C-alpha cells in the first residue's frame, strides 16, 4: 500500500508550485517536529501481561499547541500517524483556529478486548505519554475506535498523574464531565455545511441530488441522517462489512437503529428497506450519484478505481481517502473534490470550542455551538473556493495554499536560532 505520509507530502508539493516559501519553511514542514514511540504493558483479564505499541506525534506547533485524535486500530503505524498529524496541521490552519497538528494511536484490535482491558490500554497510553501532552502543549481527542468513554478514562488518568483537575487536557469527553454539546455530530455537520454551500453555488436543490456515503461510523452515519432529513436522496450507505443500495432512497436513521438493536452488519439489512440490495464498498464508490462521501478509511479512491467513479462531486469526510494518482485522474474528469482538511474540519473546530469552554469554566448551549461552527466552516469553504478560482487549482490545492501560507508566516516571523 502506498505511504500515506508520502501522499500528504505530494499534496504539499502541489501547493509549493503556486506559493513562494523559504527553504527554511520547506525544511520544517517536510517532517514532524517530535514524536514518541512506546509500548503499553497491560494486565489482561486472564492474568497474562500483553504489550501494545503506541505513538504520539507533534507535527508543528507554530500556530499554537498541537491538537489531534488518538486511534485504536490494528492498522496503526508510524507512517499513518505522521500523515494524520500533518493533515491536522493543515486543517487547523485552514479554519483559523490556534492549534498545530498532532496525532496518536495504539496498535490494538478493541473488538478482541473486554471493556476493562480497553480501559487499561487507555490509561496506559496516558501514563506513557503524559509528559508529551497537556492543555498548553498537546490536546488529544477521539478518533477511529475511540470514544467519549475512552476520553474520560484518559482524562481521569491525566488528572491523577498531575494531582489537579485539568479538563482542557483532552476533548471529546462526555458532556456531563466537561465535554461540549454538539461534539458527536460535529465532523458530519461541518461536512454538511460544505455541501449546503456548494449546492448554493451550483444552484442545485437537495430534492434533485443523490448521495452515497461510504462509512457508517460516527461521521458517516450522522452525515447520512442529516442529508436525508434535509431532503437529499441517500441512495447508498455502507460500513466495513458492505452496504445497502436503493435508487429510491434509504432512511439512514431507521437502518442505524436496526443495526444497533440487532447488532448485525449493514449489508445484511437490505431486507429492511424496500427495493434495496446488498452491495460491496467498492460497488458503492462506483454508483451513479451526484455526491459521493467517503467517510471510512484512507486510500479508498485510487488510480485503480478513480476512472470508474461516476459522481461529479466528492466530499471527503474520511482522512486521506483519495490518493494523489486518483486526484489527477478525477481532476481530468472534471470531478470536484471538497478535501478532507476542509470537509471534516468540523470535528476539530468543536474540539477547539470544548477546550475554550474547559479553560473558561463556562459552557455554551448547542445553538451557540452550531452557529459558531457554521460561521467558521462556511467562511473557510468560501475562502478556499475563492482561492481555487483565483489560482485555477483544485480545491485541495487551494486549501493547502491557504494553510501553508498561514503556517509559513508564523515560521518566518518566529525565526530560528
- Alpha-carbon distance of 33 to 113, in angstroms, equals 33
**Residue 259: its pLDDT value, please?**
87
Share of the chain above pLDDT 70, in %: 99
- Alpha-carbon distance of 104 to 84, in angstroms, equals 9
Residue 103 annotated as catalytic: yes
Is the CA virtual torsion 141, 146, 295, 13 positive or negative? Answer: positive
Q: pTM for this structure?
A: 0.94
Q: Which of 198-207, 215-224, 244-253, 272-281 has the lowest mean pLDDT?
A: 272-281
**Residue 1: its pLDDT value, please?**
59
Q: Is the pLDDT of residue 2 over 90?
A: no
Is 214 in contact with 285 (CB distance < 8 Å)?
Answer: yes
257 grid coordinates = 437503529
Q: In what order do the strands lie in the sheet with 277-279?
A: 277-279, 242-245, 233-239, 210-214, 291-294, 313-315, 336-338
* Annotated catalytic residue within 103, 166, 173, 267: 103
Average confidence score pLDDT of the chain: 95
pLDDT, one tens digit per residue, over 342-400 is 999 999 999 999 999 999 999 999 999 999 999 999 999 999 999 999 999 999 999 99
Q: Is the pLDDT of residue 263 over 90?
A: no
Q: Is the pLDDT of residue 150 over 60?
A: yes
Q: Is the pLDDT of residue 240 over 90?
A: no
Share of the chain above pLDDT 90, in %: 90
Decide the pairing of beta strands 49-60 and 34-43: antiparallel
- b/e per residue 298-329 (b: at least 16 CB within 10 A): bebbbeeebeebebebbbbbbbbbbbbbbbeb
Model confidence band, residue 416 (pLDDT cutoffs 50, 70, 90) = low
Is the CA virtual torsion 214, 218, 222, 223 positive or negative? Answer: negative
Domains of the chain with bracketed CATH: 32-177 (3.40.50.10860), 186-343 (3.40.50.720)
Which of 174, 104, 226 shows the shortest CA–CA distance to 354? 174
**Residue 260: its pLDDT value, please?**
87
280 grid coordinates = 460491496
Amino acid at each position: 500500500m502506498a505511504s500515506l505520509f508520502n501522499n500528504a507530502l505530494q499534496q504539499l508539493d502541489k501547493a509549493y508550485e503556486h506559493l513562494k516559501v523559504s527553504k527554511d519553511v520547506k525544511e520544517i514542514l517536510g517532517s514532524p517536529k517530535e514524536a514518541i514511540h512506546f509500548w503499553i504493558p497491560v494486565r489482561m483479564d486472564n492474568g497474562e501481561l500483553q504489550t501494545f505499541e503506541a505513538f504520539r506525534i507533534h507535527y508543528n506547533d507554530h500556530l499554537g499547541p498541537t491538537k489531534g485524535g488518538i486511534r485504536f486500530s490494528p492498522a496503526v503505524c508510524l507512517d499513518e500517524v505522521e500523515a494524520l498529524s500533518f493533515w491536522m496541521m493543515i486543517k487547523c490552519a485552514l479554519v483559523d483556529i490556534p492549534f498545530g497538528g498532532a496525532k496518536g494511536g495504539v496498535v490494538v484490535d478493541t473488538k478482541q478486548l473486554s471493556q476493562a482491558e480497553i480501559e487499561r490500554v487507555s490509561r496506559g497510553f496516558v501514563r506513557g505519554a503524559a509528559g508529551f501532552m497537556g492543555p498548553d502543549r498537546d490536546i488529544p481527542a477521539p478518533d477511529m475506535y475511540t470514544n467519549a468513554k475512552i476520553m474520560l478514562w484518559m482524562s481521569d488518568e491525566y488528572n491523577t498523574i498531575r494531582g489537579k483537575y485539568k479538563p482542557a487536557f483532552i476533548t471529546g469527553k462526555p458532556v456531563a464531565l466537561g465535554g461540549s454539546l454538539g461534539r458527536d455530530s460535529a465532523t458530519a455537520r461541518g461536512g454538511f455545511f460544505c455541501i449546503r454551500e456548494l449546492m448554493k453555488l451550483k444552484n442545485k436543490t437537495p430534492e434533485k441530488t443523490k448521495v452515497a456515503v461510504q462509512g457508517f461510523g460516527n461521521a458517516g452515519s450522522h452525515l447520512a441522517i442529516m442529508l436525508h432529513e434535509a431532503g437529499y436522496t441517500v441512495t447508498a450507505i455502507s460500513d466495513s462489512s458492505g452496504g445497502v443500495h436503493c435508487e429510491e432512497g434509504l432512511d439512514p436513521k431507521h437502518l442505524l437503529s436496526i443495526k444497533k438493536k440487532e447488532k448485525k452488519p449493514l449489508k445484511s439489512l437490505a431486507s429492511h428497506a424496500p427495493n434495496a440490495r446488498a452491495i460491496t464498498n467498492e460497488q458503492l464508490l462506483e454508483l451513479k450519484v451526484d455526491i459521493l462521501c467517503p467517510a471510512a478509511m484512507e486510500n479508498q479512491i485510487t488510480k485503480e478505481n478513480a476512472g470508474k467513479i461516476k459522481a461529479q462531486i466528492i466530499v471527503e469526510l474520511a482522512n486521506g481517502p483519495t490518493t494523489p494518482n486518483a486526484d489527477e485522474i478525477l481532476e481530468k474528469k472534471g470531478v470536484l473534490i471538497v478535501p478532507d482538511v476542509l470537509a471534516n474540519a468540523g470535528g476539530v473546530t468543536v474540539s477547539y470550542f470544548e477546550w475554550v469552554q474547559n479553560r473558561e469554566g463556562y459552557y455554551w448551549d448547542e445553538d451557540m455551538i452550531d452557529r459558531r461552527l457554521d460561521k467558521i466552516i462556511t467562511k473557510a469553504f468560501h475562502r478556499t473556493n475563492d482561492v481555487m478560482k483565483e489560482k485555477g487549482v483544485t480545491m485541495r490545492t487551494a486549501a493547502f495554499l491557504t494553510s501553508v501560507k498561514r503556517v509559513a508566516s508564523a515560521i518566518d516571523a518566529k525565526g530560528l536560532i
